[in-house]
Amino acid sequence: MLFNYLKIAVRNLFRNKFYTLINILGLSIGIVCTLLIILYVRYEFSYDKYHEKYERIYRLDSDFFIGGKKDQFAVTALPLGPTLKAEYPEIAEFCRFLKWMIRYY
């Protein structure tokens, strides 16, 4: 029975070559897009994995709302690091990012 279904499917594939090409092309594009998304997500989750205690590393961002537009930066106010470390005993260390050039639009 299964062999019969396969034989009918192959006949239909060869009979409708244009639709077969469209279907195979669409399926291959879908698989490639899925693989690219998986690779991108794995890359995004792989930051700081080389550290011994990578699960304890966090990053603070600043959100600025200017003219109804939200801008997000990986920089915070200078006294934020020492203040958070003094107020929260869970914080062992901190470091700062330094952005050399900020453009305002």
Decide which of 39 and 58 is more confident: 39
Task: In whole angstroms, give the CA distance from residue 25 to residue 64.
Answer: 44
**Tokens found for residue 89:** 């005993």
Are 57 and 89 members of one domain?
yes
Q: Which range, 12-21, 29-38, 81-90, is most confident?
A: 29-38
pLDDT higher than 70, residue 104? no
Domain holding 26, by residue range, is 2-44
Are 54 and 18 members of one domain?
no
Task: In whole angstroms, give the CA distance from residue 51 to residue 62.
Answer: 24
| 28-51 mean pLDDT | 93
Q: What is the DSSP string of 65-99?
A: EETTEEEEES---TTHHHHHHHH-TT---------
pLDDT higher than 90, residue 34? yes
- Is the residue at 62 inside a domain? yes
The pTM of this model reads: 0.56
Are 25 and 59 members of one domain?
no
- Please tell me the predicted confidence (pLDDT) of residue 103: 66
- Is the residue at 104 inside a domain? no
Task: In whole angstroms, give the CA distance from residue 83 to residue 69.
Answer: 28
- pLDDT tens profile 51-64: 888 888 888 888 88
Q: How many domains does the chain have?
A: 2
- Is the residue at 81 inside a domain? yes
